[in-house]
């Protein structure tokens, strides 16, 4: 698994000729594609990418066979090798998903198991770099790796960065009685990508024995799963968990949902529950014959299944991929002992709350009466106590009209992310080195549009704009101020130093001590990089009393 392919600098004239034939437009400017670094030979076949001033990029490389037709809902199979150079100058299609969070103008397909490699221009087999593998978020139902452009990270941090696609929603986490791999196909895809990277890191100048798995939101949930999956052991050497916990999500309100659920939701479900869910859907879709249900479902069109994709946004445990609920496994110490960075943004809940009150997308103002109704629905007999801890009068910095919405967002931030993340940090730090943080730029760019005057703060996903160059799903680019670019350079320094040696350090920035149980974490903001009592700031002692 650790035997990596050699870089294709010394490709034969025959392979080079094939490359020129396969991609004449790329080769026209330079007939020496192998020598200038555009041609790399992988275990799957040669790929022809692009060379910039600081980095080389190779996009849309298949790491597994297309999971279509008879391979829909099967564990990922090895890709069929190719002999002629494959055009690797643009990303592959995004995995099948609905319109929310999907990049504007993107091609959508079930044939989507590809990855993108960005490597420093001077990376070679003789000077191997750490590898950082980024798993995107999107609730396990949306998103794509190509939304996040890692040139700055690769060049400044002297690392190889890989972004991946994996099956989503009904295609990645569907289950049915007797279906091998039920409820875990997306996680298995991530493991297949990591295996491909282990075999091919050296071809791009990467060190196959130094791989850091980085996940944000649902990608962070996935990273927690991989920490506890026996099949993932040995596939990565460090982990970064951003903006999601390894455990339960609690009452949360999303656009289009009339009220928050009164019971906790989770990204982990028992296999029996997911199989039952799939069996019920099979009947709804006219595939009632138990003996032929999977064949019938595989015969349905992508769009017919996509109508139900949001119903399958949790991974199954009690499976070979996840023998135990990862939340319980983390608490019990049954996870791969690798160094971990874990953290969240200060105002996680403001992203979704902004959508709820944004009239441009059908939102309505949140009045104090609505705030009372929502907290009653979510917390029942404890709702009044929740409101005493989160009175709208404490959130009037942008005017009284936003106070109830900001109070709700603070509840969402603290209950669903900040305190669960600290709980994970406590559990993991008992057994392996941990560095914990809170991203706290109050003026961070937002991922989605917010109503005029609404203070988005350091909302969910905003930290990724400091690590990557991104376009929002609507195609608009995210820009940073000079102070924010300075913070971005520091954060990239911390993240990539962790990939190099297991300790986040950055030139000219304060040291980042290891986390010790109690809640003090590194705070990251343009005006201040220091320490914050995260547990007190987010009222975690109170949330331990709420059921």
Half-sphere exposure of 126 (CA within 13 A, CB side): 2
Q: Which residue bears the tokens 């903006």?
A: 243
CB atoms within 10 A of CB 290: 13
Of 332, 329, 342, nearest in space to 517 by CA: 342
For 417, the token pair is: 């992310």
Paired with 120 in beta bridges are: 55
The SS3 call for residue 216 is strand
Torsion angles phi and psi, residue 172, rounded to 5: -105, -25
- Angle, helices 368-379 vs 403-413, to 10°: value is 20
459 catalytic? Reply is: no
Q: How many CA atoms lie within 13 A of 170 on its CB side?
A: 23
Which strand (E) or helix (H) includes residue 450?
Answer: none
Measured CA to CA, the distance from residue 543 to residue 247 in angstroms comes to 15
Buried b (16+ CB within 10 A) or exposed e, 18-30: bbbebbeebbeee
| DSSP annotation of 414 | I
Query: Looking at the DSSP assignment, which residues form a beta bridge with residue 114?
Result: 62
Which of 59, 144, 146, 217 is flagged as catalytic?
Answer: 217
First to last CA, the chain: 45
Strand 108-109 relative to strand 94-95: parallel, antiparallel, unpaired? parallel
Measured in whole angstroms, how far is the alpha carbon of residue 370 from the centre of its chain? 32
Contact 172, 93 (CB under 8 A): no
Q: Which residues are catalytic?
A: 217
């Amino acid at each position: 698994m650790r035997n990596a392919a050699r870089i294709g600098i010394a490709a034969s004239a025959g392979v080079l000729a094939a490359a020129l034939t396969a991609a004449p437009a790329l080769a026209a400017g330079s007939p020496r594609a192998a020598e200038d670094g555009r041609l790399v030979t992988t275990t799957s076949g040669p790929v022809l990418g692009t060379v910039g001033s600081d980095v080389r990029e190779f996009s849309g490389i298949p790491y597994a066979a297309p999971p279509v037709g008879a391979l829909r809902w099967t564990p990922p199979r090895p890709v069929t090798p190719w002999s002629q150079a494959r055009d690797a100058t643009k990303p592959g299609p995004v995995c099948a998903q609905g319109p929310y969070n999907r990049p504007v103008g993107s091609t959508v397909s079930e044939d989507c198991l590809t990855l993108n490699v960005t490597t420093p221009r001077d990376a070679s087999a003789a000077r191997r770099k750490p590898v950082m593998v980024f798993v995107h978020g999107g609730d396990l139902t949306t998103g794509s790796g190509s939304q996040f452009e890692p040139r700055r990270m690769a060049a400044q941090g002297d690392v190889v960065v890989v972004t991946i696609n994996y099956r989503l929603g009904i295609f990645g986490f569907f289950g049915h009685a007797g279906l091998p791999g039920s409820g875990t196909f997306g996680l298995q895809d991530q493991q297949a990508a990591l295996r491909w990277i282990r075999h091919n890191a050296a071809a791009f100048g990467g060190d196959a024995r130094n791989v850091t798995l980085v996940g944000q939101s649902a990608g962070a949930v996935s990273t927690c799963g991989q920490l506890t999956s026996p099949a993932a052991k040995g596939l990565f050497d460090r982990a970064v968990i951003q903006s999601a916990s390894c455990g339960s999500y609690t009452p949360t309100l999303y656009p289009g949902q009339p009220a928050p659920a009164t019971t906790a939701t989770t990204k982990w479900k028992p296999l029996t529950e997911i199989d039952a869910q799939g069996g019920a859907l099979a009947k709804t879709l006219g595939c009632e014959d138990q003996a032929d249900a999977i064949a019938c479902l595989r015969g349905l069109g992508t769009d017919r299944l996509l109508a139900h994709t949001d119903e399958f946004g949790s991974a199954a445990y009690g499976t070979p991929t996840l023998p135990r609920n990862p939340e319980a496994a983390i608490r019990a110490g049954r996870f791969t002992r690798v160094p971990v960075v874990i953290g969240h943004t200060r105002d996680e809940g403001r992203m979704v709350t902004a959508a709820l009150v944004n009239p441009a997308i059908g939102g309505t103002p949140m009045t104090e009466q609505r705030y009372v109704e929502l907290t009653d629905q979510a917390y029942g007999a404890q709702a009044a106590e929740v409101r005493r801890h989160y009175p709208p009068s404490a959130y009037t910095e942008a005017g009284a009209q936003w106070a109830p919405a900001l109070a709700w967002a603070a509840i969402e931030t603290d209950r669903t992310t900040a305190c669960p993340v600290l709980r994970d940090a406590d559990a993991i730090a008992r057994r392996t080195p941990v560095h914990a943080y809170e991203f706290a730029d109050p003026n961070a760019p937002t991922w989605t549009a917010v109503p005029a005057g609404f203070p988005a703060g350091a909302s969910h996903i905003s930290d990724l704009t400091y690590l990557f160059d991104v376009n929002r799903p609507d195609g608009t680019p995210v820009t940073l101020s000079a102070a924010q670019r300075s913070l971005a350079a520091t954060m990239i320094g911390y993240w990539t130093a962790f990939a190099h040696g297991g300790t986040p350090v950055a030139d000219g920035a304060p040291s980042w001590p290891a986390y010790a149980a109690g809640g003090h974490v590194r705070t990251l903001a343009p005006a201040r990089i220091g320490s914050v009592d995260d547990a007190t700031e987010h009222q975690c002692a109170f949330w331990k009393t709420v059921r």
